[in-house]
A and B are shown apart, each in its own frame.
Chain A
Amino acid sequence: MNIVVLLKMVPDTVEELNVGADGRSLDAEFLRYKLGDPDEHAIEQALLLKEKHGGTVTLVALDAPEVDDVLFTALAKGADRAIKLTGAESPPGTPVLAQAVAACVRGVWNPLPADTLILCGSYAIDDLEGELAPWLATAFEIPLAMVVAGVQIEDGGRKAVVTREFFGGLRGEFELDLPAILGIQSAEKPPRYVPIAKVRAAMKSARIDSQAAELPEPPAGLELGRMAKPEAAGHAQMLEGDPDKVADQIIEVLAQQSLI
């Protein structure tokens, strides 16, 4: 199978996020980037499919801080090739990102081989202009499934059968003809761990192909106004003190509310 994984770095929300001086973007000074959780699962799902059906896993990512570590880690886990798209000064919106990624993929495969499955995270926390997968499905005119939590390949690689999450634990099974694109919510197994020594070895033995990204002008339809931190409608009453003192306060609350 020809498996392509599109990766997107997002700000790590464990760190404090601040709005920059322009009031319309994040303050880059203290930003740290990481791969979104669904993207981690997209890598894992790709590796599981490769192990089961053979083929190659190609990673495509836009350049961003920490992206080399992410790509080498995925290579160490078993991906075959990594392409880094350079030249974006700041993270572009999804429509521009989708066109840059589409141009890269077309540069490698045109047309897409019949056994191609493109995977990406089902969503990212900065998807203001929509998710990546549907933009690409439109660009390539190929079938799309979102919120995918399981992938089976049938008919000798001609068809994917996917499990899509709805809500309340309910899921649905859908079939798509390949080539297709899937927005992965979660892989069938937790993302695998790879020892740092293997990542270091990959840094020596493997390489990342850098290519200049084809970045079109962003579409003119949206006007981004102010960005701000949320003004919380309320805030918890914080319970202070050592564990015993906090426990006493909680017990008092629970007793007042007849919960114990």
Chain B
Amino acid sequence: MANPILVLAEHLRGSLTEVTFEMLGAARALAQSTGAPVQALLVGSGVEPLAAQLGAADSVLLVDRPDLANPSSEQVSLAAEQAAGKTGAGLIFVAGTNVSTGIGTLLAARAKLPLVNFCREIKVADGRPTFVSQLFGGKVFAEVRMAGDRGVVSLYPGAFRAEAGRADKAAPVERCDLQAPPAKVRFRRFVEPETGDVDITRQDVLVAVGRGIQSQDNLALAEELAQVLKGAVCASRPVIDQGWLPLSRQVGKSGMSVKPRLYIALGISGAPEHWEGMQSSRLIIAFNTDPKAPIFDGSQYGVCGDLLDYVPALTEKLKARSS
């Protein structure tokens, strides 16, 4: 039987995150081909009740200590290193999310393990996994194998099906201790999201602007289009970083996840970090000057051209229609 696959369960503020189930699903699919057992590792303070939700694993390793409330990346990677050593784990799955970023690389660096980042797909041939990684903002994929049986894989959130990682049953739980020096990074407090004037997660229609909007003045074009469609304006990271719109309007990895009925993307290339936040939109219409922009691959309709020409024409026609 192959070495166990260790899945590092991710949780924040008392709840497991969706990517945890995606990782368990990916591990179960791989285990089916290789015969490896799947183990989940849960590290935190007061997290024992969460173990019951990890039944897609064959067993759960629990490190639950008061000093691990909102643990640092270093503490979690140390716990994973020790747990993997104890159980002889081969592959270790970590989440490629903002919450977990750093854990996998710390673990790989310290334990001298190979690491595959940005993994979107796992193929198996002859009992050996090939990991498909998404590089260069989604423009190129790389197929990577590990030379040995051991290594760390950082899984892209949203790339694997979460349903496959949920189970009605609970798995046996084994408590583990952690040998760790005092934490070098200490949690102080959560900073709550800014509450904006508009909750973009509750809008039926969103007009999203990206770098292609070029200037703050051009935001008015998006505002006008959103207004006539009774929606709101949101944005990708570069626009927020410029300070042109408040944080509460950010869609993507660090920002909001939205599922509107209509998402009009203006000058957004479609980098993976942005997709993460809007891929569940029902209808996506994208405007971009680059015919090869990744945004067109996932949109139903696309317009290749200058949004400064196309958007005002659309707004005017919609206005004329509604009056």
- The chain A residues found within 8 Å of chain B, CB to CB, are 10-11, 13-14, 16-17, 19, 26, 37, 41, 94-95, 98, 122-123, 125-131, 133-135, 137-139, 142-147, 149, 161, 163-177, 183, 185-186, 189-190, 219-230, 232-239, 243-244, 246-251, 253-254, 257, 259-260
Q: Write out, one digit per residue, whether chain B residues 128-167 have a CB within 8 A of any chain A CB (1) or not (0).
A: 0010011111111111111110010010000000000000
Whether the Cβ atoms of A233 and B297 lie closer than 8 Å is: yes
Complex-state Cα separation, A13 to B295, whole angstroms:
13
- B193 contacts the other chain (Cβ, under 8 Å)? yes
Known: A130-B109, A230-B297. A163 touches B143 (CB 8 A): no
Contacting residue for A230 out of B110, B138, B154, B194, CB 8 A: B138
A258 smallest CB distance to B (angstroms): 9
Please indicate the chain B residues that have their CB under 8 angstroms from the CB of A165 in the complex: 98, 254
Please indicate the chain B residues that have their CB under 8 angstroms from the CB of A26 in the complex: 136, 140
Please indicate the chain B residues that have their CB under 8 angstroms from the CB of A176 in the complex: 184-186
Contacting residue for B229 out of A11, A237, A259, CB 8 A: A259
Complex-state Cα separation, A65 to B246, whole angstroms:
35
Whether the Cβ atoms of A168 and B185 lie closer than 8 Å is: no
Whether the Cβ atoms of B105 and A221 lie closer than 8 Å is: no
Complex-state Cα separation, A152 to B66, whole angstroms:
27
Known: A228-B141, A259-B262. A130 touches B105 (CB 8 A): yes
Whether the Cβ atoms of A138 and B297 lie closer than 8 Å is: no
Contacting residue for B141 out of A185, A229, A234, A239, CB 8 A: A229
Whether the Cβ atoms of B185 and A138 lie closer than 8 Å is: no
Nearest 5 interchain pairs by C-beta = A221-B114, A169-B193, A236-B302, A130-B105, A243-B313
Whether the Cβ atoms of A259 and B205 lie closer than 8 Å is: yes
Please indicate the chain B residues that have their CB under 8 angstroms from the CB of A239 in the complex: 301-303
Please indicate the chain B residues that have their CB under 8 angstroms from the CB of A185 in the complex: 254
Please indicate the chain B residues that have their CB under 8 angstroms from the CB of A130 in the complex: 104-105, 108-109, 115, 117, 154
Q: Write out, one digit per residue, whether chain B residues 171-211 have a CB within 8 A of any chain A CB (1) or not (0).
A: 00000000000001111111111100000000011000000
Whether the Cβ atoms of B106 and A138 lie closer than 8 Å is: yes
Complex-state Cα separation, A169 to B242, whole angstroms:
16
- B292 contacts the other chain (Cβ, under 8 Å)? yes
Counting residue pairs across A and B whose Cβ atoms lie within 8 Å, the total is 280
Q: List 9 A-B contacts (CB under 8 A).
A: A11-B136, A13-B136, A135-B105, A146-B98, A171-B190, A171-B191, A221-B114, A221-B147, A222-B114
- B269 contacts the other chain (Cβ, under 8 Å)? yes
Please indicate the chain B residues that have their CB under 8 angstroms from the CB of A230 in the complex: 134, 138-141, 294, 297
Known: A128-B144, A222-B147, A237-B302. A173 touches B191 (CB 8 A): yes
A247 smallest CB distance to B (angstroms): 4
Please indicate the chain B residues that have their CB under 8 angstroms from the CB of A143 in the complex: 72, 74, 184-185
Q: Closest residue to A136 on the B side, CB-wise?
A: B109
- B40 contacts the other chain (Cβ, under 8 Å)? no
Known: A130-B117, A225-B144, A230-B138. A175 touches B247 (CB 8 A): no
Whether the Cβ atoms of A229 and B243 lie closer than 8 Å is: no
Contacting residue for A131 out of B101, B139, B143, B191, CB 8 A: B101
Whether the Cβ atoms of A166 and B99 lie closer than 8 Å is: yes
- B3 contacts the other chain (Cβ, under 8 Å)? no
Whether the Cβ atoms of B191 and A172 lie closer than 8 Å is: yes
Please indicate the chain B residues that have their CB under 8 angstroms from the CB of A175 in the complex: 185-186, 188
- B241 contacts the other chain (Cβ, under 8 Å)? yes
Complex-state Cα separation, A126 to B186, whole angstroms:
30
Contacting residue for A222 out of B102, B145, B283, B316, CB 8 A: B145
Known: A13-B269, A172-B189, A176-B184. A221 touches B106 (CB 8 A): no
Known: A222-B144, A251-B318, A251-B321. A167 touches B300 (CB 8 A): no
Complex-state Cα separation, A59 to B184, whole angstroms:
25
Please indicate the chain A residues that have their CB under 8 angstroms from the CB of B80 in the complex: none
Whether the Cβ atoms of B101 and A147 lie closer than 8 Å is: yes
- B290 contacts the other chain (Cβ, under 8 Å)? yes
Whether the Cβ atoms of A250 and B301 lie closer than 8 Å is: yes
- B317 contacts the other chain (Cβ, under 8 Å)? yes
Q: Write out, one digit per residue, whether chain B residues 64-75 have a CB within 8 A of any chain A CB (1) or not (0).
A: 000000101110
